[in-house]
Amino acid sequence: MGIPCGNFKVRKNTSPWKPRKEKIRIRISSKELVEALSNKPEHSEAYLRGLFDAEASVDIKGYIEFKQLANKTGLKLVNEVFDSLKKIGIDVTSVKIKNDRNIKLDAYLYVRDLIRYRKQIGFVDDGKKSKLNIIISAKNTNNKPKISDIKALLAEDTSLWYMINELKSPYHRIRQLLKDNNLAVRQTR
């Protein structure tokens, strides 16, 4: 694609998803290139996949968040992503602006239709792919976990992601049981 070498960055994995498994990620760090590709219809889904791999997150609460700094460039990019997702039939929230811990303003949107997103775009990043599959599976199964099951998993010092995957229950159900029973999960991984 004629991408200059200066547009690549190599960085160590810092994700808490699999802390014992080190890997190197190569990401294209040129929004100008992304913008150029976005104007080509034949690259639109590949463009979105790469952009979401680099800039989006799969939230434990059950959605995909895409956000950028709420400056002129960031707001433009979030609005273009909104338009692109709507055009291919993926349900997203409207673009909003929020204050991020009084440090900066972010422009963001949430992907609501996770199944269609996974089918049409998906992720390349294994961690994000796994998290998306866990969220979808828990949402589809929607089990009501027992406190005894949660306590057993807590004894194993597991993460919330692992609990959601094992119990096939959405985060909100697990969180409520933890709260009602004055329990907490360590967020070290």
Angle at 132 between CA 126 and CA 135, to 5 degrees: 140
Judge whether 55 and 125 are in contact, CB under 8 Å: no
Closest alpha carbon to 63 in 43, 44, 101, 90: 90
Cβ atoms within 10 Å of 90's Cβ, excluding its own: 20
pLDDT digits (tens, 9 = 90+) for 32-67: 665 665 555 555 788 888 889 888 999 999 999 999
List CB contacts of 102: < 8 A, sequence separation 6 or more. none
pLDDT digits (tens, 9 = 90+) for 71-114: 998 999 999 999 999 999 999 999 999 887 778 899 999 999 99
Question: Does 102 share its domain with 170?
Answer: no
- Total domains in the fold of the chain: 2
**Structural domain boundaries, residue 150:** 142-180
Residue 123 has pLDDT above 70, yes or no: yes
Give me the CATH number covering residue 74: 3.10.28.10
pLDDT digits (tens, 9 = 90+) for 23-33: 555 555 555 66
Angle at 178 between CA 148 and CA 92, to 5 degrees: 120
Question: Does 132 share its domain with 82?
Answer: yes
